[in-house]
Structure formats: C-alpha cells, structure tokens
Amino acid sequence: MEKRLVKNSIILLSMVAYIFLFKTVIITYALKYSNFINASFLAILLAVSIFFLGYRKDKSTVLFQNIFKYTAFYVLLTGFAIYGIGFFVGFLKNAYSREFLTLVNNVVIPIIVYILLELIRYVFIWANKDKKAFIVVLTIIIIAFELVLKVRSFNFEDFEAVFRFASSTFLPTIVKNVFFTYVCYHVGYRVPIFYRMLTDVFYVYIVPIIPDLGEYLHSIIAITLPVIIYINIYEMVDSKCDKPRPLIQKKGFSFPDFAFGALLVLMVCLVSGLFPIYMIGIGSSSMSPTINKGDAVVIQKINPETGIKEGDIIAYTKSDRDDSSVIIVHRVSEITTEEGAKAFVTKGDANKTKDVSLVKAKQIKGIVRFRIPLIAYPTILVNDYMENWR
C-alpha cells in the first residue's frame, strides 16, 4: 500500500508541477510550442503511469456497448439539433484557419493530447478502483490542467470576466470531467475519447461553419449534455446491465429524453425569432437600472398600431430598412404621427435626452415582457471583443 501511495503521489505531483511550470514558464517563453510540449509531457507521464501502475486491457463488455451507444446517440443528436437551429438563427464562419500547419496544430496535436489524457485517467483509475479518494484527486487535477491550457490569463477582479469564465469554461470543464471519470471507472477510456473527438475537436476545429447561438447557449449545452447522458446510463451502471439495451424503450420516452427534447425546442423558440415570444441579449447600459448590460429580455410580438402605449419598453430595429439587424430596446415616452402614420418617441432610462429619430411601426419587433438578469453576459462580452478586434 505504501508503494502504491508513493507511485500515485509521483504521478499526481508531476501533473501539479507541470501545471505550475506551464503557467509560469511555458506560456511566457515557449507559447508557440506549448501544444507540442503538452503532448510530450503527457506521453512521458503515460509511460511512467504504465510502468508504475501497469496496464489492463479495456474489454468490450455489454455494459460498454450500451453506454457507448447512448453516448453516441445523444452527442450526434445534439450536433444535428444545433445545426438544425442554425438554419433559423444563421451560421458563422469557423474562426480557425484551414491552412495545413494550423490544422495540424489545432487538430492533430489536440487529438493526441486528449487521447493521452484519457489513457492516463484510465490507467490511474483501474489501478486505484479500491481507493476512490485518489480518483477524486486525479479528477480535480485534470480539471485544473484543462483550465490552465484553455485560459492563458485571467483577471478575477472583473466581475464580467469572472461570470464569463464560470459559465463558458469552468462549469462545462468540471461537469465534463466528472462524467468522464464516472464512465472511465465503469467501462474504460473509449467512451470519453469518442466524446472528446466529436465535441472538443470536430465541432470546434473541423466543421467550416458553426451556428450563431451565442456563447451562453453553447455553454448550457456543454453543461447539460453530459448530465443527460449520465441520467440515461446510471440505471444500467447501477444494475450492471448485461443485456443489450435499446435506445428507445417500448414503454416510451423517459423523463431525461423529454427534458432534453424540451430544452432543444425551448432554445429554438427563444433564439429564432420565428415564434411570438423570443429572447435577445442587451449589449448597452442605456436602460439601466431597469435593464442592465448583460441581461436578456423576452420579447413578445404585437401589433404596433394597437398594442403599444406610453411607458412600454419596446424592441425595434435601428432603421426601417429590411436588412437592418441592429435591435434597440428603449422605453416609449410619447406616441405621435409622422406623414399620417403612427410613430413613437423613445428614450433610454439612463439617457438624459430622448432619441433623435422617431420609430416607425414597421421597425418594431415587439414589446419587452420581462428580463432575465446576467445570463447574456458571455455572448455580449464575446460580441464586444469581436467588435474591438475588428
């Protein structure tokens, strides 16, 4: 037992030391080669882990086949659903370069890193199945390792940055790695590697276009997907299922299936704008303190000729051109007419003066029904960054 404690400690402390080295030295002096250095370190650590702890062949059991089938089903279903939503909300060009050397650096090396990381997890877990405390420590260290690789620098004094980091990086990384450890403990490394190849490589680097869902919704999906899979496979793991399990039971869909489908439908309803109620993020402070930057508001489509009164908060396009995509959310301070048609004088609650231009009926997208505090922060911050970068 003491020998195993020493061996485990060497492996875990090696990862902790590398995290510190990466953060203090590699980022500063060898950032260009950091991906290659990461892969090299993990290859050495895997060799050391096998030498210390041994290697057990990952067998293809019925339980593995069931879990792999469920994981593949939900990961692929999510991908199809997201890209289906893209036909409503639009697509963005993948920001990663398609040049050969860039693809090698962004795709081939990350694939190697992810495979090595999951093999290390597997070797360590199967050598310590009777000592779950070591497995918990390893999972925490792997989470820290991934976070350090993803976040080069961070300012914890900025609340907006903290919120963005927590929602888009910290929570998804924790949920995903806890799920990987759970699956690896029961059926080995192949399911986590498959999951990573699709979600962390294919959907991120390889596809040429990505749906314009915003970072917040992508984060919700990244957190929800492992939870949905876990709920569906928990019963099989708990009962050590030794029979093939069909994806769709004769008794009908389970609650997780319904919840997952409902989430996708809700996403379409809230972001597409094709339904009577939809949601947009607020990118300015002109309506503070009623509506703050980073909040989201739910808009209901109405007849602007009869459904608006003074004091209502409305959403409208910046101009009356059909191709205008900039949406403003301000309060109606006066209703008047222009060229015989109804028009609206608007003003932001935080602004000292009324808006110069009148809002015509054809510009109005709907009336604000309620706000959801803070949830649009990640998307707004990314948009601000992209605007500044341009």
Q: With 50 as the cut, is the pLDDT of residue 386 above it?
A: no
Instruction: Evaluate the CA torsion angle 260, 264, 267, 269 in order and state its sign.
Output: negative
Q: How far apart are CA 336 and CA 268, in angstroms?
A: 36
pLDDT in the model for residue 304:
86
Closest listed residue to residue 331, CA positions, set 346, 342, 319, 343: 346
Domains of the chain with bracketed CATH: 2-272 (no CATH), 278-389 (2.10.109.10)
pTM above 0.85, yes or no: no
Q: Which residues contact 377 (CB under 8 A, 6 or more apart)?
A: 160, 163, 164, 167, 216, 294
pLDDT in the model for residue 141:
96
Q: How far apart are CA 291 and CA 363, in angstroms?
A: 21
pLDDT in the model for residue 250:
47
Out of 118-122, 126-130, 305-309, 343-347, least confident range: 305-309
Q: Helices in 128-254 by DSSP H: which ranges?
A: 132-150, 159-165, 171-187, 190-196, 215-238
Q: With 80 as the cut, is the pLDDT of residue 73 above it?
A: yes
pLDDT in tens, 10-57: 999 999 999 999 988 998 888 888 888 999 999 999 999 999 999 988
Q: How far apart are CA 27 and CA 92, in angstroms?
A: 29
pLDDT in the model for residue 262:
57
Q: CB-based burial of residue 212 (10 Å sphere; 0-12 exposed, 13-18 middle, 19+ buried)?
A: middle
Quick one: pLDDT band at residue 158, thresholds 50, 70, 90?
low
pLDDT in the model for residue 183:
96
pLDDT in the model for residue 359:
92
Coil/strand/helix, residue 339: coil
Q: Which residues contact 111 (CB under 8 A, 6 or more apart)?
A: 197, 201
* Residue 389, φ and ψ in degrees, nearest 5: -65, -35
Closest listed residue to residue 187, CA positions, set 78, 74, 73, 70: 70
pLDDT in the model for residue 389:
46
